[in-house]
Amino acid sequence: MIQILLLASLGITALGAAACSMPFLKGRVAPLIGGYSAAAAGGAALLAAILVLVNGGQACFSSVWQLPFASFSLKLDQLSAFFVIPVSLVCGLAGIYGTGYMADEGNSTGGRLSWTWFLLLMGSMITVIAASNGILFLVAWETMTVSSFFLVTRYHEKGEVRRAGWIYLTASHIGTALILVLFAFPGAAATGSGTLVHPACSHGLFFLLALVGFGTKAGIVPLHVWLPQAHPAAPSHVSAVMSGVMIKTGVYGLLRMLTCLGSPEQWPIWWGWVMIGSGAVSALYGILNALGQRDIKRILAYSSVENMGIVFIGLGVWMTGASTGNALMSSLGLAGALLHVWNHSIFKSLLFLGAGSVAKASGTRDIELTGGLLGRMGRTGLAFFTGSAAIIGLPPLNGFTGEFLIYWGAFSAVYGDNGFHASVSGLLAITALALAGGLAMICFTRLFGTVFLGSPRSENAGKACETVGSMYIPMMILAVLCLAGGLLAHLVVGFLPGVSIASGTPEVLGRIALVSLALPAGMLLAGALRKILLSGRSTTTSDTWGCGYILPGSRMQYTASSFSLPALLLFRGFVSLRLTTRSNGEYFPNGLSLKSGLRDSFMHRLYEPLFRSLHRLSGWFSGMQHGRNQLYVLYMAAVLLILLLWELGV
């Protein structure tokens, strides 16, 4: 039954992809076919994964494939089912969203083909997670990269989109190359989940290769540089899929590779330190850079870097707990990390879909040109509000539960009297999580406040109106899931793979849900009181107080850059903040401008010089590419001669 569902979902994606690539398809039909096949495939895969998780078993399917070492074998065990659930859910909902978002692009070839690539992306992601053969995994991984590349460069007429596409392709392929090396270790290629029999020293190398290779896909600093370029360039439903689920395949790959290395208790403790360290750096660097951006999707992309950092902190807490023999710490760390993977895919895709709606309604992605959209786009605004509150991690929404479990894991190292290493790593985790959480509050109040609140800062924002149903209904579904994830976490936490939940945890999560419901309950009570008191009295509206200024207007509002400037100035040492002022005239200028911006430090100081020097180096070899075919044939003849002499003579 489960196999049939899984194969059906893959089959629907393949058929849909093929259908959308037919050139004779009418304009209106292509988005509908693409979107609804995605939804159907998503539903089938979701059902299959839920059945596997709930029943606790696993389902396999295998068939022959004519490549050496390869077989088309899929296996949905607990870990795979866990990751298939957000993939199928988000892809399905994003597909439905896309029918509305890309409705007016169906006529063009590019628009039609983008659905082909979308369905291929979805199918390859499910295959990556469900693959139990190394070659199948690699083929699906590459398909995922290529199809997402074509989706990112959908609007390739713009130079910045092309640049983003190249950066993405290069970064992905460097990661894939490292993963290829990883699969060269014997034992991993055959089944994808065998046990290695290598001595301990190369275990460390294996771990580092997996971390860098899969970390590139997950978006860990310093391998994150493609994320803020690729996610804004892609169409919004694709960004939702990429940020919501594609970067999670990196986490999945890392976890799967780690299962080859024996049980966590035997891992050296420096692995946990590396994970917590890289997670902490990613979390803080990501959210600090998010504070300085003006493009709504770039803010969300950097925030994804931050959240992947939080997941890695959780995984680090897991590893440290296991290495120091601290069962509570390790189980809570892993539970928190996995739960945060789910939660992030829900609220990040919600936020990206909302960003797409905002961009479409107001015609711009620049938040400094929007404003006051909550009055005009009420449903989108409500869903976006839920997503923002969830990503900051406020109870009673789902973002709090994952972070709470990671906090508990870190604290349990502290209060349980568990040795120095565990305590210090717990300290590092707590500090990083607290600071990242506080900065996330700055980032998302800035984002929501600038875009949806206040008054419109441009004409287009003033004329925005609510989007079509196919765009806001998936957002509302995701918002409801955010709330459900927060209130029902105690039911979910028992199904997390590989985690043996201590007995008290579901009760604690249940109590938290109860306590956090006290806030809305109290608000309802206070609201009722206020309504009763105001029933006989006058309630009027008036202008916002402007300190007696005669001409208040929308330009008097606080801008987004000003909102985050104090925080950026405080952390100036960690981000490349550029403040340029220009004035015309020395003593009494009548024009003065201040421009603030952030450059990605790693891109600017590490990768660009590196690639420039690589370019220079390869320039030296360009002398060999002169274009004369006689010399090329001469090269071939010379090599043949040398080989003949070597084999036959010497």
Q: Which residues, numbered 416-435, are part of the site for another protein (CB under 8 A)?
A: 416-417, 420, 423-424, 426-427, 430-431, 433-435
Q: Is 415 in the site for another protein (CB under 8 A)?
A: yes
**Backbone angles phi and psi of 46, in degrees to 5:** -60, -45
Give the one residue of 503, 540, 629, 630 binding another protein; rule: CB under 8 A: 540
Residues 446 to 465 in contact with another protein, rule: CB under 8 A: 448-450, 453-455
Give the one residue of 67, 177, 525, 639 binding another protein; rule: CB under 8 A: 525
Give the one residue of 155, 166, 495, 563 binding another protein; rule: CB under 8 A: 563
Token digits for 298? 């770039």
Q: How far is the CB of 570 from another protein (least distance, A)?
A: 5
Q: Is 533 in the site for another protein (CB under 8 A)?
A: yes
Token digits for 185? 């270790």
Q: How far is the CB of 455 from another protein (least distance, A)?
A: 5
With beta carbons less than 8 A apart as the criterion, state whether 497 and 79 touch: yes
Residues 491 to 520 in contact with another protein, rule: CB under 8 A: 504, 507-508, 511-512, 515-516, 518-520
Q: Is 638 in the site for another protein (CB under 8 A)?
A: no
Per DSSP, what are the bridge partners of residue 576?
599
Q: Is 393 in the site for another protein (CB under 8 A)?
A: yes
With beta carbons less than 8 A apart as the criterion, state whether 365 and 293 touch: no
Q: Within 10 A of 137 (CB to CB), how many other CB atoms are there? A: 22
Q: How far is the CB of 380 from another protein (least distance, A)?
A: 13
Q: Is 186 in the site for another protein (CB under 8 A)?
A: no
Q: How far is the CB of 516 from another protein (least distance, A)?
A: 7
Type of residue found at 474: P
Q: What is the DSSP letter of 62?
A: E
H helix or E strand, kind and range, residue 582: strand 576-583
**Backbone angles phi and psi of 428, in degrees to 5:** -60, -45
Q: How far is the CB of 424 from another protein (least distance, A)?
A: 7
Distance CA 4, CA 443 (A): 44
Select from 152-160, 292-300, 314-322, 565-573 the region that touches another protein (CB under 8 A): 565-573
Q: Is 530 in the site for another protein (CB under 8 A)?
A: yes
Q: Is 522 in the site for another protein (CB under 8 A)?
A: yes
What are the residues whose beta carbons fall under 8 Å from the beta carbon of 299, sequence distance 6 or more?
290, 293, 367, 443, 447
Number of residues that bind another protein (CB under 8 A): 85
Select from 156-164, 296-304, 356-364, 531-539 the region that touches another protein (CB under 8 A): 531-539
Q: How far is the CB of 494 from another protein (least distance, A)?
A: 17
Give the one residue of 149, 342, 404, 472 binding another protein; rule: CB under 8 A: 404
Strand-pair category, 576-583 with 592-599 = antiparallel
Q: Within 10 A of 157 (CB to CB), how many other CB atoms are there? A: 9
Token digits for 309? 């950092």
Q: How far is the CB of 555 from another protein (least distance, A)?
A: 10
Per DSSP, what are the bridge partners of residue 62?
73
Select from 2-10, 183-191, 309-317, 409-417 the region that touches another protein (CB under 8 A): 409-417
Select from 48-56, 462-470, 550-558, 591-599 the region that touches another protein (CB under 8 A): 550-558
Q: Is 543 in the site for another protein (CB under 8 A)?
A: yes
- Binding mask 77-116 vs another protein (x if CB under 8 A, - otherwise)? ----------------------------------------
Q: Which is nearer to another protein, 189 or 430 (CB)?
A: 430
Q: Which residue has the tokens 């068939």?
A: 63
Distance CA 608, CA 522 (A): 54
Give the one residue of 439, 461, 475, 575 binding another protein; rule: CB under 8 A: 439
Q: Is 394 in the site for another protein (CB under 8 A)?
A: yes
Cis peptide, bond prior to residue 506, ω within 30 of zero: no
Give the one residue of 63, 544, 580, 629 binding another protein; rule: CB under 8 A: 544
Q: How far is the CB of 409 from another protein (least distance, A)?
A: 11
How far from 422 is each of 36, 318, 402, 432, CA to CA, in Å? 49, 11, 20, 15
Give the one residue of 150, 302, 400, 472 binding another protein; rule: CB under 8 A: 400
The string of DSSP letters for 407-463 reads HHHHHHHHHTT--HHHHHHHHHHHHHHHHHHHHHHHHHHHHHHHHHSS--SSHHHHT
Q: Is 523 in the site for another protein (CB under 8 A)?
A: yes
Distance CA 498, CA 502 (A): 13
Give the one residue of 407, 499, 600, 603 binding another protein; rule: CB under 8 A: 407
Inter-helix orientation angle 200-218/159-184, to 10°: 160
Q: Is 262 left (phi over 0), alpha (psi -120 to 50) or beta?
A: left
With beta carbons less than 8 A apart as the criterion, state whether 489 and 509 touch: yes
* C-alpha count within 13 angstroms, C-beta hemisphere, residue 610: 6
Q: Which is nearer to another protein, 237 or 457 (CB)?
A: 457
Give the one residue of 50, 180, 208, 414 binding another protein; rule: CB under 8 A: 414
Q: Is 146 in the site for another protein (CB under 8 A)?
A: no
Among residues 387, 358, 379, the alpha carbon closest in space to that of 458 is found at: 358
Q: Is 437 in the site for another protein (CB under 8 A)?
A: yes
Q: How far is the CB of 392 from another protein (least distance, A)?
A: 6
Distance CA 309, CA 344 (A): 12
Distance CA 336, CA 371 (A): 35
Q: Within 10 A of 627 (CB to CB), how many other CB atoms are there? A: 6
Q: Which is nearer to another protein, 228 or 437 (CB)?
A: 437
Q: Is 582 in the site for another protein (CB under 8 A)?
A: no
Select from 57-65, 389-397, 583-591, 633-641 the region that touches another protein (CB under 8 A): 389-397
Q: Which is nearer to another protein, 357 or 388 (CB)?
A: 388
- Binding mask 346-385 vs another protein (x if CB under 8 A, - otherwise)? -------------------------xx-xx---------x
SS3 state of residue 593: strand
Q: How far is the CB of 475 from another protein (least distance, A)?
A: 17
Q: Which is nearer to another protein, 48 or 373 (CB)?
A: 373
Q: Which is nearer to another protein, 556 or 642 (CB)?
A: 556
Type of residue found at 567: A
Q: How far is the CB of 483 from another protein (least distance, A)?
A: 14
Q: Is 567 in the site for another protein (CB under 8 A)?
A: yes
Find the DSSP H helices in 592-650. 601-602, 608-620, 629-644
Distance CA 249, CA 79 (A): 12
What are the residues whose beta carbons fall under 8 Å from the beta carbon of 583, sequence distance 6 or more?
589, 591, 592, 593
Give the one residue of 235, 496, 557, 600 binding another protein; rule: CB under 8 A: 557
Give the one residue of 181, 184, 526, 637 binding another protein; rule: CB under 8 A: 526
Q: Which is nearer to another protein, 521 or 639 (CB)?
A: 521
